[in-house]
Structure 1
């Protein structure tokens, strides 16, 4: 910055995306508590070869039962074995995979915890397993599990694009905008479908579904009401807030200046005869450097760009008069 006052610093987009997840966990206690419980389950269930074998065996038996009942069809490449892998602190997609597996093999996770609760080698192991069962077999935990999986899923494709070595900046910024639009659409139209998915999951796994129109009691208190219904708490204080924080973080961490800079650079990429050329984006890029482009130079640039792209696309490699 001392050498070039006009310089801009753009943080790694993939890491910025990861930081939005960190922000949600830090800014929402329910989400923070949720990830703590998921982490503890991963530690306990994957704590030994015996427990991991128990998890795999239960999955295999469960799948065989589904085959016999006709609920699922056999096929090559289908129904691959799922495991529980600790998510990486620096990879958004790993959190998505962890939560996706958590839902798919939930009954096997519960089975292993129940076995530890009954047959654990120490009282500490048995007590921990009992505690985790009381945490994950609740409507609230399942609600946050499905909510965070949906939020992560909407950004998973963006995450993969941002990690590519041959990253297409124009495509990445476009996917960023698509992700924000999908999150906004989920906020406006996704409540009912999310609630249906959570309720159906709880029905299948014998998890008590609370009466959503009754008062919500925060924490362990069963006496002091929050003054709102359980449905209001889940919708307004969890569903809306989580999505709003995610949208705000995306807007803050991928700000307009960074996007304009990258889109402008992408528009100057000569690949495929300047297929991403966009005069408006290049003009916006130039305006980010007022010390280099005064009003006169901006006007000159506009005329030069019109001439430049015509000559380059007409196959005239000798034209290089763009200053």
Structure 2
């Protein structure tokens, strides 16, 4: 029936098809007949368009504004009237993945404006972003955030909401934030440390508030250094390299004798009655150092769950340092069991055999000597085609590499946001800021996009009088 409907070459169906193709062909459009271009006109148009693209590239790479400081919608830029320099909550999303060369990369997706910072709102924003880029949450194998309560809550936190939907998306608390938050808590709990940091902050604020005080402090410090150089108390740069590994500059600080008795003072500075007789060494070692270490250990234990600790211990067994000295097959099998979606029971048996052959091959192969980390191991496996010979071992390695362990990329993005959208460009909208940030952060990818690709994309956006 379809063939009868189509008919021969001069049937009504074929005539309609030919007319439709002609209508859709932009080069045969009626408007082009009125504005027929010569070759010189096309070349001039391409030159102007290429120059405009080069100017836009420069502005985007430098984070500069396009129309002074006013980039609002009435100036034909895709922005709104928002002023989120200080009022809008932004969530930065970065995807970590392993490419075909075995390199672990972090790709900035863009900032997302969130109306609320509660876990449900953040989860909805992540779902929306994944849907926008055709990504599946079921393929997620790791998640990392800072230590806010709306993130790490055991029942209603963002990480718990994602884990309920995908148990293999393991939550890794960023190591930098682990240490930072632990130190902050200790500084607040320990009176001596809290007073010390408060005193340092007061001194810095007082000196920094006056340029005269800063100049006076620099002048005094320069005089102290000059006098110390004269007396031979410190060495100059050249002498320092030739002679002693280091030297000490006297700062007129009273250093107590550690064997003397420590006088414990009350809040107002008076000596306490019935105070324990202890030495300065005992005070600094037990009352201060040991107490602070105990607080830090307690804080770190609270921030590392048992599952995460076990996961990281298993990950360490893949490290190629010192000829795979940390290799442990049982722990690596245990690591694979954390990912039931990627390793079936049959895969686990096959992985057991592959690990035996893998470690023997690695230790006897000179090409794998001197590797420093998991990233180097993955790249070397791809380079030598060993990822094809040991596919399950390589899959386990890629799962380890995608675990987020640092916030450097995210922190840089938030710093970049203050450059791209500053106080003078506060009318920049969400979409325009998103596009500008992606280009500014991913400069290498943007530089690899040829002008011809941009021109064709621009040409296909709508019908234009001048056609390239």
Query: 1 or 2, which has the higher helix percentage?
Result: 1
* TM-score for both structures, normalised by structure 1: 0.49
Q: Which of these two proteins has the greater Rg computed from alpha carbons? A: 2
Q: Tell which has more relative contact order, 1 or 2 (C-alpha 8 A, sep 6+).
A: 2
